[in-house]
């Protein structure tokens, strides 16, 4: 097949997050398909932006054709980000005929977090005679409404709702990383039979390859903790509101008299606020470190004793979650403390750690203390359970094939397409 994968934030091993489009596309290319990824030049989640000399740039990465569209830079979640999004969608729509003629896609995937790209994606599919797939990451506009407290009557929300409703009605298939999103999408006009759950995953090749060396600063902090006989709890990822790191700081305060250190690795809009709060609380057991390259993630996680992932208590999570970070944690083979209230709890399912209620610092501190009291072989067994679970359920080679089956079924005549939904 010829596949056109539209994802504003798509990244690569050279540019950073997000990685899902690259991993899926790489497996599709290996299976003999032609894949073109269309992405914006400016994204807040990438560590490196593509070098642009004009409005459009093409390059090949791992056999995948990347088409970068120039968009204005931005930071944060304000007006400039909305302008960046509108710029990408506008340029994509103006190129719809060119993309349809040049690539003649059999399948067009609209996969940006927001919903506006469904309109140019639909136009390209219509012009090329291809099928349209809507891939759901987070549920927009529910996310800005329930997490950002935006009004349902806000023009931004209304425009996003228009896109979601159009996608639910017009897409030939809907792929979601959220296992229970069908409940919401059916209310917006989707036929239940179109829905397919395909979560995030890991690339086993990367975890089996030789890991990159950690930066000197990270090595020094981890060595100092080890030399002092400290138990190391690590968080690696974005420092933002949704990640509930303020609750982790509260737990660290409760454990000041325990031999445990907390290492927070990453960047994000709330990092400075968290650093300031840690100083105000006198948290000598908390260390903030810069993000590390993806090739170093395995080395970082394996150098710790336990890993933390947290969430705010939000009704939005009733549709489930599928965090990339959790997949990496499980692949590292370390016990996990999961502060979440969600219907799909991989940590509990795998038995690879403790799940506690979100925003409950005493419960979080107690879970950490319980892990510390376990013998090392018991913690190692927990970690191995998570590793086996993620290998069995979240291998991108398997997920890519599952996605291919969805696209192939969408291209079949209705009388022949009868594959059961996941």
User: Per-residue pLDDT tens for 57-102?
Assistant: 999 999 999 999 999 998 877 899 999 999 999 999 999 999 999 9
Residue 421 pLDDT > 60? no
pLDDT value for 17: 84
Mean pLDDT taken over the chain = 93
**38-69 as b/e: b if 16+ CB within 10 A:** bbbbbbbebeeebeeeeeeeeeebeebbbbbb
Helix axes 271-280, 245-254, angle to 10 degrees: 20
pLDDT confidence of residue 68: 98
Statement: residue 417 has pLDDT above 80: no
pLDDT tens figures, 9-57: 999 988 988 999 999 999 999 999 999 999 999 998 888 899 999 999 9
What is the share, in percent, of the chain residues with pLDDT greater than 70? 97
DSSP code string of 182-243: HHHHHHTT--GGGEEE----B-HHHHHSPPPPPPHHHHHHHHHHHHTT-EEEEEES--SGGG
How many CA atoms, within 13 angstroms, populate the side-chain half-sphere of residue 227? 6
pLDDT of amino acid 310: 95
Which two three-digit tokens encode residue 294?
A: 């993806």
Quick check: pTM over 0.75?
yes
* CA 68 vs CA 10, 55, 77, 92: distances in Å: 10, 8, 22, 10
Per-residue pLDDT at 415:
39
Q: Which residues contact 69 (CB under 8 A, 6 or more apart)?
A: 38, 39, 40, 41, 55, 56, 88, 91, 92, 95
Q: How far apart are CA 50 and CA 67, in angstroms?
A: 10
Please name which of 243, 236, 197, 237 lies closest in space to residue 343, comparing C-alpha atoms: 197
Cα distance between the two ends of the chain:
22
- From 51, 57, 117, select the one nearest 86 (Cα to Cα): 117
Does the pLDDT value for residue 414 go beyond 90? Answer: no
Write down the pLDDT at residue 420: 41
Rounded average pLDDT over 379-388: 97
pLDDT tens for 220-256 read 999 999 999 999 999 999 898 788 999 999 999 999 9
CA–CA separation, 264 and 277 (whole Å) = 14
Residues across the chain: 422
* Tens digits of residue pLDDT in 98-151: 999 999 999 999 999 999 999 999 999 999 999 999 999 989 999 989 888 899
Is the pLDDT assigned to residue 416 strictly greater than 80? no
Q: How far apart are CA 249 and CA 221, in angstroms?
A: 18
What mean pLDDT comes out for the span 403-417?
79
Q: Determine which helix (DSSP H) or strand (DSSP E) holds 356, and give its type and residue range.
A: strand 353-356
From CA 132, how far away is CA 129, in angstroms rounded? 10
pLDDT of residue 77: 76
What would the two tokens of residue 285 be?
């057991």
pLDDT band (50, 70, 90) for residue 412: confident
| pLDDT for residue 422 | 43
pLDDT in tens, 202-217: 998 888 766 678 999 9
Q: Which domains does the chain have, with CATH numbers?
A: 2-201+395-411 (3.40.50.2000), 205-393 (3.40.50.2000)
Name every residue whose Cβ is closer than 8 Å to that of residue 415 and which is 6 or more positions away in sequence. none
């Amino acid at each position: 097949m010829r596949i056109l994968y539209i994802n504003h934030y798509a990244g690569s091993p050279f540019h950073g997050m997000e990685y899902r489009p690259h991993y899926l596309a790489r497996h599709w290319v290996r299976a003999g398909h032609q894949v073109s990824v269309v992405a914006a030049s400016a994204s807040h989640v990438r560590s490196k932006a593509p070098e642009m000399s004009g409005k459009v740039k093409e390059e090949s990465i791992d056999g995948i054709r990347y088409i970068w569209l120039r968009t204005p830079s931005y930071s944060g979640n304000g007006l400039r980000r909305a302008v960046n999004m509108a710029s990408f969608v506008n340029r994509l729509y103006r190129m719809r005929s060119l993309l349809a003629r040049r690539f003649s896609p059999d399948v067009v995937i609209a996969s940006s977090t927001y919903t506006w790209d469904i309109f140019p994606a639909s136009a390209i599919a219509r012009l090329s005679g291809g099928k349209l797939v809507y891939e759901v990451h987070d549920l927009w506009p529910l996310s800005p409404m329930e997490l950002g407290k935006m009004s349902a009557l806000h023009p931004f929300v209304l425009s996003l709702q228009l896109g979601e409703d159009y996608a639910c009605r017009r897409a030939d298939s809907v792929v979601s990383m959220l296992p229970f999103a069908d409940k919401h999408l059916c209310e917006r006009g989707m036929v239940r039979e179109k829905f397919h759950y395909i979560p995030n995953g890991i690339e086993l090749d990367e975890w089996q390859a030789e890991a990159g060396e950690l930066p000197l600063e990270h090595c020094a902090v981890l060595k100092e903790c080890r030399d002092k006989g400290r138990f190391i709890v690590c968080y690696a990822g974005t420092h933002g509101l949704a990640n509930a790191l303020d609750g982790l700081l509260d737990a660290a305060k409760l454990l000041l008299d325990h031999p445990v250190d907390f290492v927070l690795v990453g960047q994000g809009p709330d990092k400075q606020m968290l650093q300031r709060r840690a100083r105000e609380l006198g948290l000598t057991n908390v260390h903030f470190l810069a993000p590390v390259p993806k090739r170093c993630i395995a080395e970082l996680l394996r150098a710790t004793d336990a890993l933390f992932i947290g969430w705010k208590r939000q009704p939005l999570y009733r549709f489930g979650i599928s965090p990339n970070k959790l997949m990496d944690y499980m692949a590292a083979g370390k016990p996990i403390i999961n502060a979440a209230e969600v219907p799909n709890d991989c940590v509990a399912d795998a038995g690879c750690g403790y799940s506690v209620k979100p925003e409950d610092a005493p419960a979080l501190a107690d879970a950490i203390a319980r892990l510390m009291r376990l013998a090392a072989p018991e913690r190692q067994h927990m970690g191995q359970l998570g590793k086996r679970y993620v290998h069995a359920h979240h291998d991108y080679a398997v997920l890519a094939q599952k996605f291919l089956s969805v696209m192939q079924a969408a291209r079949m005549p209705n009388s022949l397409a009868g594959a059961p939904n996941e």
